[in-house]
Structure 1
Amino acid sequence: MDFKHLRTFQTAAQTLNFSETAEMLGYVQSAVTAHIRSLESELEVRLFDRNGRGVRLTYEGQQLLDYADRLFALRDEAEQAIKRGKDITGNITIAGYESLLTYRLPQILKRFVDAYPQVRLNVVPLAVKQLKTQVLNAQIDIAFTMEQSTHVNGLEQLRLRCEEVNVIAAPSHPLAKKKCVTANDLVNETLLFTEPGCSYRALFEHNLMKAGVFDKPKLEFVSVEPIKACVKMGMGIAALSRVSTERDIAQGRLAKLDWQGDDLSVNLHMVWNSKRWLSPAVKAFLDVTQSFYDGSELV
């Protein structure tokens, strides 16, 4: 459908006068008539009833006018949003766990950079225990965390989604084929842990302590990738976020155990300083992220 023809129709529907429409749009009257007839031919309906006293909209014409008004309003809104995006400048420092920055953030960054090309982004991987402290100290603008919802004075948290956690082993490991794996099955296993302060590590440890296996041999890592590499080599069992392991599981490089212990799922949050002035760039990033995760909620 030609937008030029649609604009002619919209104006004619508002004025109900083809001569006035032609004058307003800078056309000759025959051009207005041609645009209307083109639309009627394309849609196979009559848009106007014509009589000696003038014209009036048909039922189909009124329907098309409603859509035309919405289409042009949406087009104007899009143009204004893009122009605003070009006008917003500044710097934003974003931090998070390495796995979140790797597996969750890129799509959000792409959407934001497309909308706000003049904003400079600084993305920093940080240890779990540093994230909220640095937000409170205004060292970073926005942090992404995976944890159970907790309130911290001075921080605003937006829950974005639930993050499932997989208990994993090498595909050749005997537990890979076992049904109903519990903490008791890990009594003689070497355990590979993420860094202290990691929320799903704490949940995993709690399961192990209840079964009396927490004092078993363990390895501790700051990064998720070395854990996965060690698990693939058969060095032990680990609990990691689903998003960081699903590709390796699908490709047969890791095995997801049939974990029947307590649920290890946590929430993905976006966190910022509630007492600090938010720049237009930071506000825009918060809006883009919230719209990306439809259904997110403040906690």
Structure 2
Amino acid sequence: MELSDIDIILTVARSGKISQAAKELNYAQSNVTTRIKKLEQEYQVQLFNRFPKGVVLTSKGEQFVQYATRIRDLLNDLEQDMTDPGEPSGTLKIGIVETAASSRFMEILNEYQVTYPEVSISLVNATSPKVLRKKIQEYVIDGAFISGACVKEGLKVEYEMQDTVHIISKRMDVPPESLCQVSWVVFPKGCPYREITEEYLQEEGLSARNIIEVSTMDNLLSCVESGVAFTIMPCSVIHKKPDEFSVYDLAERFTHTTTTFVRGEDRYVSSALDRFVKLLNQKCITF
């Protein structure tokens, strides 16, 4: 087996199509097919079941992918370790949920950039913990802020804080008499605050007149500030203009949530990431 075979198997397994994998790898399709067959002959196993519309891993193929993923991760760690100069430099890629992007995190980020100007910071926004977890596993990002409960297997928690969520509306002198006809603005499915909203509406027996789905915090706050909809979010998201909004408490069972900063467990930690984590814990930021 050659090391390049690992990329071939992983790409085919992810795409489910040899033609698509060949295109992504810039290989001839016949070359990809030949390399797979050669591996299957070498190990005397069938890695993929072939179908007219694509391929699916066999049980042995799934085992191969598990080993191949570990080998790929070790090679990535090796490359980072060998090229790390010891002082923070290069690129630091951080995944961040929209709620963190609107908080004091930006102040910490600015301080980090001033202290370590040789580091190029790249922010990857997402609303789903599942998406950020996948990006960590695939080495797309070095670490991520994740809100709400998440599966921590394979992840190392470097920072954790407790937060509270509330119902937020445009500024009102008198609380609404009923929430039965209220519209709600939420992020796409996978967002923990959307899950809280849906659970709250169900348990309270409320039927939202309309669910408005947005993908950015700016759009969400615009909907709320204009009176188009209510939302359920941490109060930190309105810290720039608190007087423009009204905040209402939720029942205890809905109130508490957690924001964590995580990275891949047992992964190489670059100098840039190490200093970032230390600054994060030193400042003990709250969102």
TM-score bucket of the superposed structures, by smaller chain: 0.5 to 0.7
SS of alignment partner, residue 164 of structure 1: strand
Q: Is 1:178 aligned to 2:185, yes or no?
A: no
Distance 1:261 1:288, change over 3 A: closer
**Cα offset, 1:242, TM superposition:** 0.9
Distance 1:87 1:158, change over 3 A: closer
1:20-46 CA-partner distances (Å, limit 9, x unpaired): xxxxxxxxxxxxxxxxxxxxxxxxxxx
Q: Is 1:116 aligned to 2:113, yes or no?
A: no
Q: Is 1:212 aligned to 2:213, yes or no?
A: no
1:196-237 CA-partner distances (Å, limit 9, x unpaired): 212122122212111222464211111122122112222121
Q: Is 1:268 aligned to 2:265, yes or no?
A: no
Distance 1:243 1:287, change over 3 A: same
Match of 2:143 in 1: 142
Q: Which runs of 5+ in 2 are unaligned?
A: 1-84
Q: Say if 2:127 and 2:187, in contact at 8 Å, map to a contact too.
A: no
1:223-258 CA-partner distances (Å, limit 9, x unpaired): 122122112222121112211113323x2x211124
Partners in 1 of 2:175 and 2:127 — Cα distance? 34
The CA RMSD over aligned residues, in Å, is 2.6
1:47-80 CA-partner distances (Å, limit 9, x unpaired): xxxxxxxxxxxxxxxxxxxxxxxxxxxxxxxxxx
Bigger Rg, which one:
1
Q: Say if 1:93 and 1:122, in contact at 8 Å, map to a contact too.
A: yes
1:282 to 266, 269, 273: 273
Partners in 1 of 2:86 and 2:167 — Cα distance? 45
Distance 1:178 1:248, change over 3 A: same
Q: Which amino acid aligns with 1:264?
A: T
Structural mapping, 1:147-162, within 5 Å = 147-148=148-149, 150-162=150-162
Q: How many residues align?
A: 201
Structural mapping, 1:1-299, within 5 Å = 87-128=87-128, 129-148=130-149, 150-172=150-172, 177-178=174-175, 185-214=178-207, 216-249=209-242, 251=243, 253-260=244-251, 262-293=253-284
**Cα offset, 1:282, TM superposition:** 1.4
Find runs of 4+ consecutive structure 1 residues off by over 6 angstroms. Answer: none
Distance 1:133 1:106, change over 3 A: same
Distance 1:214 1:96, change over 3 A: farther
State the percentage of identical aligned residues. 19
Match of 1:25 in 2: none
Of 112-121 and 258-267, the range deviating more from structure 2: 258-267
**Cα offset, 1:194, TM superposition:** 2.2
SS of alignment partner, residue 152 of structure 1: coil
TM-score (norm 1): 0.60
